[in-house]
Amino acid sequence: MLTAVLVVWTAVAPAQPRASVQRPDSAARASIVAVLKTVQDSLDRVRGAAYNFRTDLGGASPVVVYSRAQRMQVSCVGADGALARLDSVLNASYPAGAPADLRREARTLRAALAECRREYDTTTRWAQRADSVRAWAPYRLRRLDETMRRFARAAVLPRP
């Protein structure tokens, strides 16, 4: 008799999905949204610095290229710091791990921003590097922009 009751009970019990995605509660979600806003603002500064860097790059003097490179480097450092805060908040909000595509794109973007920080560093041999920076900057800025776009597509949180 008891066996029959247990069989019926398990048959009508609602099945739990095995691969359910754990979602953060409303307070954690609000925290994630606030940090994502900060990240997007930082990435907007990177986009602005990149646009400014490309403007009349061929005719810009070495001093102008130097100041634009400084601004580019500072904006990349700031965006990398914002992404580090996002990683921290995501790890705290998703104990089982944040969505895979968001983690992957954040990791890729942090690598691109670290490369940006190194490439536009004006403290080492800038006089020798100014012309080469002028030559490769458009290509590398385009790659950085593509990486930021992929991150923006992945950084959309599912509705609660």
Show the 3-state SS of the chain: CHHHHHHHHHHHCCCCCCCCCCCCCHHHHHHHHHHHHHHHHHHHHHHHHHHHHHCCCCCCCHHHHHHHHHHHHHHHHHHHHHHHHHHHHHHHHCCCCCCHHHHHHHHHHHHHHHHHHHHCCCCCCHHHHHHHHHHHHHHHHHHHHHHHHHHHHHCCCCCC
CA–CA separation, 128 vs 3, rounded Å?
83
> How confident is the model at residue 109, as a pLDDT?
96
What integer is the mean pLDDT of 52-67? 87
88-101 pLDDT per residue, tens: 888 887 766 677 88
Higher pLDDT, 54 or 60: 54
pTM greater than 0.95 (yes/no):
no
143-154 pLDDT per residue, tens: 999 999 999 998
> How confident is the model at residue 24, as a pLDDT?
55
25-154 adopts what CATH topology? Answer: Four Helix Bundle (Hemerythrin (Met), subunit A) (1.20.120)
Is pLDDT of 9 > 50? no
The domain locations on the chain are: 25-154
